[in-house]
Chain A
Amino acid sequence: GAGVSQSPSNKVTEKGKDVELRCDPISGHTALYWYRQSLGQGLEFLIYFQGNSAPDKSGLPSDRFSAERTGGSVSTLTIQRTQQEDSAVYLCASSPRGGGTNLGGSPLHFGNGTRLTVT
């Protein structure tokens, strides 16, 4: 089936505006992750969902950032009052099982990201 789909692929917004980024995971994947990747940097963990709940929100940089997931499927990452330092590529990934398998962890499958530019 289809892979992880993210939209929009590119977003340019003015400082102070709110933005919504969407992630459509692979069908049947219960775990969903958001990461942020700044130019030349590694992947910074933002939030993890298991089903519709978020056991770990520890990576959200500030209270301007929030995320939700509905129906155990689509997730939306919202950034309020955007700042220039929010400019980055926002990546979403999904995984089949929250607890991995008997052999160990389950790899994450990534979308191609949303490139956010705040002017």
Chain B
Amino acid sequence: EDQVTQSPEALRLQEGESSSLNCSYTVSGLRGLFWYRQDPGKGPEFLFTLYSAGEEKEKERLKATLTKKESFLHITAPKPEDSATYLCAVQVKRGYQKVTFGTGTKLQVIP
């Protein structure tokens, strides 16, 4: 069974304090790994897709990396507006593109 585990469940950072969120996955045949951001009362907003080990993607203060077993979302010098829940999801190579989500990391950035 496909499994996605995110850690930590919650993270509190001071503004400017860089850190990383982890997403560990166990799947047979990864088609893609996605990172989403979710604000309260909103649907998840797509950030990145990673397809193969060694790949990296960047957007503003966020950088996502991928290995064969896990992905990291690095946040450099975060600002309060980066506060949100960050979700990781995997899509597997099976008949159709089923997407399985982790439970997310709730990030709070304190001014």
A residues within 8 Å of B by Cβ?
4, 31, 33, 35, 41-43, 45, 48, 50, 55-56, 91, 93, 95, 98-100, 103-113
- For chain B, the count of residues having a C-beta within 8 Å of the partner chain is 25
Told that A105-B31, A110-B45 touch, could you supply 12 new A-B pairs with CB distance under 8 A? A31-B96, A35-B101, A42-B101, A43-B87, A43-B101, A45-B100, A48-B98, A105-B34, A105-B99, A107-B34, A108-B34, A109-B46
Residue among B95, B96, B98, B99 having the largest count of chain A Cβ atoms under 10 Å: B99
| Residue positions of B touching A, CB distance < 8 A | 31-32, 34, 36, 41-46, 49, 51, 87, 89, 91, 95-104
How many angstroms from the CA of A31 to the CA of B95 in the assembled complex? Answer: 13
Q: Once bound together, how far apart are the Cα atoms of A52 and B79, in whole Å? A: 43
Find chain B residues with CB under 8 A from A110 CB.
36, 43-45
- The answer for the CA separation of A98 and B97 in the assembled complex, in Å, is 6
14 A-B residue contacts at CB 8 Å? A31-B97, A42-B87, A95-B97, A100-B31, A103-B51, A104-B49, A105-B31, A105-B51, A105-B99, A107-B32, A107-B49, A108-B46, A110-B43, A113-B42
Which of chain B's residues has its CB closest to A95's CB?
A: B97
Q: How far is the CA of A102 from the CA of B45 in the complex (A)?
A: 23
**A100 CB, nearest partner CB in chain B, Å:** 5
* Cβ–Cβ < 8 Å partners of A111 in chain B: 43
CB distance A50 to B96 under 8 Å? Answer: yes
Whole-angstrom distance between the Cβ of B9 and the nearest chain A Cβ? 9
A contact residues around B91 at 8 Å (CB): 100, 104-105
Provide the residues of chain A in CB contact with B49, threshold 8 Å.
104-105, 107
CA distance A42 to B85 in the complex (A): 10
Partner of B104, one of A42, A55, A98, A103: A42
Distance A107 CA – B98 CA, assembled complex (angstroms): 11
Q: How far is the CA of A35 from the CA of B46 in the complex (A)?
A: 16
Closest chain B residue to A106, Cβ basis = B97
CB pair A108 B99 closer than 8 Å: yes
A56 to B2, CA, bound (A): 15
Please name all residues of chain B whose beta carbon is closer than 8 Å to the beta carbon of A113 when the two chains form the complex. 42-43
